């Protein structure tokens, strides 16, 4: 298994060299893309030397060590392939000469994707929200067709209890008892509402930043989801709550109308939206702590772990708990 030190010392030169070893001729131009979790590069192919592959750019993704196994990454890629096979817009990982969609760079798992141009939508109108609802329903229909073996289950044990146990020791003493109490109350509420039999394969990080729209100049505008790094097994409604942030009820209704055209949905599941927002907050804090040895995280999250950070988190959780009850 690769070590974090190998990952932190991953230079663009090493990345490009490992890509060329997979049979791709590069011209040396690259751009490192924004990603907290992985190392992602956009690279250009040498137009004079490339053969069968027609696109001029690739996206190379080097997965953070000690998070996913090779089998878990392959399940992510297999899901993307299933989406494409069933007519959904998806950016699937390329099959390499090995016949697989992953390769290794000093034991770091890596994959190559075609560069799909698109823009992140800003304000969404009713028709666009309805279209996104249809798209997510179709994605969930594919997700329901088989089970995931190597990806996690989005339940309280995995995402809640483990996260709270991890951050408990670094909570500020002034708010530790209240934070833990609120968190456990929210976890209990989620478990009361959660129907495990409804779990399917879902995106897992479904927000506007991971939703792109194709260039209208190259054909009809089409939405597509990217970054399936948090792909997991969980309740379909978990993929709703971040898309709903900042949207009024009419926009939410338009989304639900589109979703229900392709997939049945129980409106009572919407009661989980606010509790899931709280679960995500707690999981996110634990995620930062897990990455704290990464030098970049101390720069990106300078206030993490300080009293003001936990006081603000506690205040938000307290308000969510009030809204739930």
Q: Is the dihedral of CA 232, 237, 238, 243 positive or negative?
A: positive
User: For residues 316 and 281, is the Cβ–Cβ distance under 8 A?
Assistant: yes
pLDDT tens string 178-227: 999 999 999 999 999 998 889 999 999 999 999 998 866 555 678 999 99
User: For residues 211 and 225, is the Cβ–Cβ distance under 8 A?
Assistant: yes
Question: Does residue 1 register a pLDDT over 60?
Answer: no
Q: What is the DSSP string of 190-256?
A: HHHH--GGG-EEE-SS-SGGGEEE--GGGSS--EEE---TT-EEE-GGGGTHHHHTT--HHHHHHHH
Question: Does residue 52 register a pLDDT over 60?
Answer: no
CA 215 vs CA 133, 176, 212, 222, 272: distances in Å: 20, 49, 10, 8, 35
CA distance 200 to 198: 6
109 confidence band (pLDDT: 50, 70, 90): very high
Residue 221, pLDDT score: 74
Residue 216, pLDDT score: 60
Ordered by where they begin, the domains of the chain are 4-114 (3.30.200.20), 126-324 (1.10.510.10)
Share of the chain above pLDDT 90, in %: 81
Residue 217, pLDDT score: 56
77 confidence band (pLDDT: 50, 70, 90): very high
Residue 48, pLDDT score: 57
pLDDT tens string 297-308: 999 999 999 999
The mean of the pLDDT values for the chain is: 92
| Average pLDDT, integer, range 270-296 | 95
CA 258 vs CA 14, 129, 198, 263, 271: distances in Å: 45, 8, 20, 9, 19
């Amino acid at each position: 298994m690769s070590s974090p030190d190998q990952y932190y010392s991953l230079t663009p030169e090493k990345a490009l060299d490992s890509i060329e070893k997979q049979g791709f001729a590069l011209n040396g131009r690259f751009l490192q893309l924004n990603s907290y979790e992985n190392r992602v590069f956009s690279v250009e192919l040498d137009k004079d030397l490339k053969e069968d592959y027609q696109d001029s750019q690739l996206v190379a993704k080097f997965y953070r060590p000690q998070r996913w196994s090779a089998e878990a990454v392959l399940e992510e890629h297999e899901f993307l392939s299933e989406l494409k096979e069933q007519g959904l817009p998806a950016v699937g990982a390329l099959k390499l000469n090995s016949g697989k969609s992953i390769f290794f760079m000093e034991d770091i798992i890596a994959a190559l994707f075609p560069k799909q141009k698109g823009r992140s939508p800003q304000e969404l109108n009713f028709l666009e929200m309805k279209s996104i609802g249809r798209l997510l329903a179709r994605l969930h229909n594919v997700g329901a067709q088989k089970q995931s073996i190597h990806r996690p289950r989005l339940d309280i044990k995995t995402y809640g209890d483990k996260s709270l146990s991890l951050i408990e020791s670094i909570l500020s003493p002034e708010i530790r008892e209240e934070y833990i109490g609120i968190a456990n109350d929210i976890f209990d509420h989620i478990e009361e509402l959660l129907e495990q039999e409804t779990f399917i394969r879902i995106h897992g990080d479904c927000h506007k930043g991971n939703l792109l729209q194709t260039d209208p100049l190259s054909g009809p505008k089409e939405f597509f989801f990217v970054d399936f790094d948090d792909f997991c097994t969980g309740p379909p409604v978990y993929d709703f709550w971040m898309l709903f942030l900042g949207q009024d009820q009419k926009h939410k209704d338009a989304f639900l109308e589109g979703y229900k055209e392709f997939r049945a949905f129980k409106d009572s599941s919407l009661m989980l939206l606010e509790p899931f927002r709280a679960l995500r907050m707690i999981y996110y804090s634990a995620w930062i702590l897990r990455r704290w040895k990464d030098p970049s995280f101390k720069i990106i999250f300078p206030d993490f772990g300080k009293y003001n950070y936990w006081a603000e988190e506690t205040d938000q959780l307290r308000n969510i708990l009030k809204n739930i009850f």
